[in-house]
């Protein structure tokens, strides 16, 4: 079986230049250049480093309006991005969708920050570029080649409730010969959430006894040549074992999620090839944990792409074009399926175009067609435009707009689950429109202020639904409209040894079912979808003096309905965290000491199981590192 693949080179042009430049090869996993008109938020490395012992959901809830449906600390945590369901956020690791093919979603509690180097969040549908699942948005994780000849760090965090986390990180780089250079990273992480709460309840609600053990290894290898050739290999093995009521030998429930993710990329100038193999294993057992239900899904995915540029008029910039294809084979053995193994092939072909005719205008037109065993998803076009309304040295105002089609291929569970699955279920399809304004002030004093406002309107048809009024059979039942507004603000200031910053956001989202299907759906139509807060806000502020930094984080989540008719809800809540960090430097050695107070106000809030979330807690970490430079 041929499943060799390619990387995604970016023929990059200086972002605001109006003059055509010679194409320069830029390494990147996701062709963000073609996402003009869409909103992309990059979480900076300093913010990530601050929460290196935590899970990605902690970062995303602190910096983005993504709402999490969380079953408890260390337990299942799924995302609702812009009012969509857990199946509507694509999670990409080095450009590869790593949503579990069986469930079509990612349990964010199984993704530690230690597993990746860079994190970006792309808002809204980007199906023409990302493919299936990118309906509400995409979470982009990627590896980054290290430039450090030798760097090692070892860290440990001790949290309240007997929850220790340990990490080791090794980075290395050296030239092989006059042509080739080698670099790499090896990282190990191990987390043990024992959740030994001092009291079994809060306000009469149980703090459920659970334990979560997480461990993993990340290996990245890069070989780069002078003549724009690159070969890289990426491995991420991760294992997450959750046990509910571990002391109750009869009633305990164990869910173990293991993923083997491997990838090889090869790039020679404008041609890129990528091939990947991912194995997702889920083991579930109740009571006797020795013979769990064991489900295994393999995914073989390859991608080939080529960049071109076409001059359409002598004095205008050329049009950048990327054409490519992706081929994916799934093979799944799941005890609950009607038959086993099931296999499925998916092919995608795409054509992405970006054109910057003048300094003010950037436009992209992207086309994609997916082909799936048994049925074909719709043709998926998108068009994006960015227009610089004001472009001054100290002030920029940009108008952004995008209109595109999205789709979601049904998950393997939705198609093949015994009795309940529906092999003929149709892919979901939607149209996403959005319009945004972004402005940047740059003061000569060294401070920068960026604000943005984005309006979106995303209608999804044939929304797949495990219909509770039909014994949970899978049906294309709903039509959902999600619309809302997002406001974001970022402020940075540097004066002498002092740095200050603020990241704040507010989001309003109205996401509701539009059509009625039976007598009782009149109670549901027009109502907010479950676990989608209408209002959410977050703020992160820091003050840094030399190498000592104090950070305050605040997030507010509005009322979340738990029933489709909005008859029941979980109350809104506000959470505040404080982080203090200082770095001691001794020549090439560094010691980072960090203290955290989580849920400073001891706020009371509930999770999906109607169990209490923990109150105020503390964490202390020490990270020791050595850098040869």
Chain residues that interact with another protein, rule: CB under 8 A:
71, 203-206, 208, 244-245, 248, 250-253, 286-288, 419-420, 467-473, 518-521, 523-524, 530, 562-565, 567-568, 608-611
Minimum separation from the CB atom of position 244 to another protein (A): 6
What are the backbone dihedrals phi and psi of residue 531, each rounded to the nearest 5 degrees, phi first?
Answer: 60, 20
Minimum separation from the CB atom of position 523 to another protein (A): 6
Identify whether the C-beta of residue 3 lies closer than 8 Å to the C-beta of residue 277: yes
Nearer to another protein, 314 or 468 (CB): 468
Residues sharing a CB contact under 8 Å with residue 21, sequence separation 6 or more, in sequence order: 13, 14
Angle among Cα 131, 133, 138 to the nearest 5 degrees reads: 85
The two tokens of residue 598 are: 């989580």
Minimum separation from the CB atom of position 85 to another protein (A): 13
Nearer to another protein, 522 or 548 (CB): 522
Minimum separation from the CB atom of position 421 to another protein (A): 11
Identify whether the C-beta of residue 407 lies closer than 8 Å to the C-beta of residue 130: no
Count helices and strands (H / E) in the chain: 4, 35
DSSP string, 307-352: EEEE-SSTTSPPEEEEEEEEEEEEEEE-TTBSSSSEEEEEEEEEEE
Residue 526, SS3 per DSSP: coil
Nearer to another protein, 28 or 73 (CB): 73
Nearer to another protein, 205 or 403 (CB): 205
Rounded Cα distance, 486 and 453, in Å: 6
- Please list the alpha-helical segments (H only) found in 7-153: 45-50, 56-63, 127-130
Minimum separation from the CB atom of position 626 to another protein (A): 45
Minimum separation from the CB atom of position 418 to another protein (A): 12
Give the Cβ contact number of residue 248 at 10 Å: 12
Minimum separation from the CB atom of position 78 to another protein (A): 13
Closest CA relative to residue 19, chosen from 307, 393, 312, 316: 316
Nearer to another protein, 391 or 563 (CB): 563
Nearer to another protein, 77 or 128 (CB): 77
Helix (H) or strand (E) holding 68: strand 67-70
Minimum separation from the CB atom of position 428 to another protein (A): 19
Q: What is the biggest distance separating any 2 CA atoms in the chain, rounded to whole angstroms?
A: 76
Minimum separation from the CB atom of position 256 to another protein (A): 17
Nearer to another protein, 249 or 585 (CB): 249
Minimum separation from the CB atom of position 295 to another protein (A): 18
What are the backbone dihedrals phi and psi of residue 188, each rounded to the nearest 5 degrees, phi first?
Answer: -130, 140
Rounded Cα distance, 531 and 558, in Å: 10
Nearer to another protein, 419 or 602 (CB): 419
Identify whether the C-beta of residue 574 lies closer than 8 Å to the C-beta of residue 602: no
Residue 588, SS3 per DSSP: coil
Residue 87, SS3 per DSSP: helix
Residues sharing a CB contact under 8 Å with residue 539, sequence separation 6 or more, in sequence order: 502, 503, 504, 505, 552, 553, 554, 555
Minimum separation from the CB atom of position 249 to another protein (A): 9
Nearer to another protein, 338 or 399 (CB): 338
Q: Give burial (CB, 10 Å; 0-12/13-18/19+) of 176.
A: exposed
Residue 422, SS3 per DSSP: coil
Minimum separation from the CB atom of position 527 to another protein (A): 9
Nearer to another protein, 185 or 560 (CB): 560
Minimum separation from the CB atom of position 198 to another protein (A): 18
Closest CA relative to residue 101, chosen from 304, 303, 337: 337
Nearer to another protein, 247 or 587 (CB): 247
- Please list the alpha-helical segments (H only) found in 208-346: none
Identify whether the C-beta of residue 595 lies closer than 8 Å to the C-beta of residue 580: yes
Minimum separation from the CB atom of position 272 to another protein (A): 44
Nearer to another protein, 286 or 333 (CB): 286
Rounded Cα distance, 371 and 131, in Å: 11
CA dihedral (311, 313, 318, 322) positive or negative: negative
Nearer to another protein, 245 or 373 (CB): 245
The two tokens of residue 624 are: 């020791």
**Conformation bin of residue 117: beta by default, left when phi > 0, alpha when psi is -120 to 50:** alpha
Nearer to another protein, 592 or 606 (CB): 606
């Amino acid at each position: 079986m041929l499943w060799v693949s390619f990387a995604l080179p970016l023929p990059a042009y200086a972002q605001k230049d109006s003059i055509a430049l010679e194409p320069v090869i830029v390494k990147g996993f996701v062709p963000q250049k073609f996402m003009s008109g869409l909103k992309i938020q990059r979480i900076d490395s300093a913010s990530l480093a601050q929460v290196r012992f935590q899970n990605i959901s902690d970062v995303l809830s602190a910096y983005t309006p993504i709402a999490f449906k969380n079953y408890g600390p260390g337990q299942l945590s799924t995302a609702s991005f812009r009012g969509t369901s857990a199946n509507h956020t694509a999670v990409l690791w080095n450009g590869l969708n790593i949503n579990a093919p069986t469930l079509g979603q990612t349990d964010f509690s199984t993704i530690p920050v230690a597993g990746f180097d860079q994190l970006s969040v792309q808002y809204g549908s980007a199906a023409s570029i990302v493919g299936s699942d990118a309906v509400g948005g995409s979470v982009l994780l990627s590896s980054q080649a290290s430039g450090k000849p030798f760097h090692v760090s070892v860290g440990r965090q001790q949290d309240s409730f007997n929850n220790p986390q340990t990490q080791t990180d090794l980075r290395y780089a050296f030239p092989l010969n006059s042509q080739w250079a080698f670099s790499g990273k090896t990282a190990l992480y191990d987390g043990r959430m024992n959740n030994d709460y001092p009291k079994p309840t809060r306000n009469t609600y149980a703090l459920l006894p659970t334990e979560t053990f997480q461990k993993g290894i990340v290996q990245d290898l890069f070989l780069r040549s002078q003549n724009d050739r690159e070969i890289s290999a990426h491995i991420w093995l991760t294992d997450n074992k959750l046990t509910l009521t571990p002391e109750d030998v009869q009633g305990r429930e164990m869910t173990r999620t293991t993923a083997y993710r491997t990838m090889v990329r090869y790039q020679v100038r404008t041609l890129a090839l990528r091939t990947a193999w991912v194995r997702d294993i889920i083991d579930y057992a109740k009571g006797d944990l020795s013979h769990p239900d064991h489900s295994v899904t393999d995914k073989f995915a390859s991608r080939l792409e080529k960049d071109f540029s076409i001059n359409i008029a002598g004095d205008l910039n050329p049009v950048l074009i990327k054409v490519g294809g992706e081929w994916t084979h799934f093979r799944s053995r799941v005890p609950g399926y009607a038959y086993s193994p099931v296999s499925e092939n998916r092919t995608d072909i795409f054509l992405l175009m970006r054109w910057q005719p003048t300094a003010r205008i950037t436009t992209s037109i992207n086309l994609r067609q997916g082909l799936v065993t048994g049925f074909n998803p719709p043709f998926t076009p998108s068009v994006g435009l960015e227009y610089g309304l004001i472009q001054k040295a100290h002030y920029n105002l940009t108008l952004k707009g995008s209109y595109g089609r999205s789709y979601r291929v049904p998950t393997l569970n939705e198609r093949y689950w015994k009795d309940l699955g529906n092999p003929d279920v149709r892919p979901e399809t939607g149209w996403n429109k959005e319009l945004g304004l972004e402005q940047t002030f740059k003061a000569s004093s060294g401070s920068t202020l960026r604000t943005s406002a984005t309006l979106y309107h995303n209608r999804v048809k044939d929304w797949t639904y495990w219909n509770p009024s039909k014994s949970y059979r899978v049906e294309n039942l709903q039509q959902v409209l999600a619309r809302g507004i997002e406001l974001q603000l970022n402020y940075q200031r540097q004066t002498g040894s002092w740095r200050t910053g603020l990241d704040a956001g507010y989001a309003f989202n109205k996401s509701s079912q539009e059509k009625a299907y039976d007598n009782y759906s009149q109670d549901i139509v027009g109502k907010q979808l479950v676990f989608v807060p209408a209002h959410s806000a977050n703020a992160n502020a820091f003050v840094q003096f030399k190498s000592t930094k104090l950070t305050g984080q605040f997030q507010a989540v509005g009322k979340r309905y738990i029933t489709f008719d909005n008859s029941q809800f979980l109350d809104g809540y506000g959470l505040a965290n404080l982080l203090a960090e200082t770095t001691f430097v001794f020549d090439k050695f560094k010691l980072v000491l960090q203290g955290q107070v989580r849920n400073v106000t001891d706020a009371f809030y509930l999770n999906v199981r109607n169990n209490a979330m923990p109150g105020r807690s503390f964490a202390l970490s020490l990270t020791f590192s050595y850098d040869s430079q």
